[in-house]
Amino acid sequence: MSERPRNSSPSPAELPRTVVPQDVYDDHYFRGVCLGAEEWSATGGAHVAGVYTGVLQRAGLQPGETVVDIGTGRGELLAVAVEMGASRAIGLEYAEAAIGLARQTLDTHDAKDKACVLVADARAIPVSSESADLVTMIDVVEHLAPNELALTLSEAHRILRPGGRIIIHTMPSRTIYQVTYRLLRLMRPRRWQTWPADPRNEYERSMHVNEQTVTALGRSLRKAGFDPHRVSLGRWVYTVHVPEERAKRAYHRLAKIPFLARFGIGDIWGEGVKPASKRSSSA
* Structural domain total, the chain: 1
- Is residue 266 situated within a structural domain? no
- Is residue 41 situated within a structural domain? yes
- Is residue 142 situated within a structural domain? yes
Q: Which domain holds residue 49?
A: 1-13+20-170
- Is residue 179 situated within a structural domain? no
| Long-range contact pairs involving 186-190 (C-beta distance under 8 Å, separation at least 24) | 188/244, 188/247
CA dihedral of 80, 89, 279, 123, whole degrees rounded to 10? 110
- Is residue 182 situated within a structural domain? no
Q: What is the pTM of this model?
A: 0.93
- Is residue 124 situated within a structural domain? yes
For position 2, which CATH number holds? 3.40.50.150
| Separation of alpha carbons 181 and 27, rounded Å | 31
- Is residue 283 situated within a structural domain? no
Neighbouring residues of 132: CB distance < 8 A, sequence distance ≥ 6:
66, 67, 68, 90, 159, 160, 161, 164
| Separation of alpha carbons 94 and 44, rounded Å | 21
Query: At 234, which amino acid appears?
Result: G
Strand ranges, E, within 48-200? 66-70, 88-93, 115-119, 132-138, 160-170
Mean pLDDT, contiguous 10-residue spans, the chain (283 residues): 51 86 95 95 96 98 98 98 98 97 98 97 97 98 98 98 98 97 92 90 96 98 97 97 95 98 98 79 37
pLDDT score at 218? 98
- Is residue 2 situated within a structural domain? yes
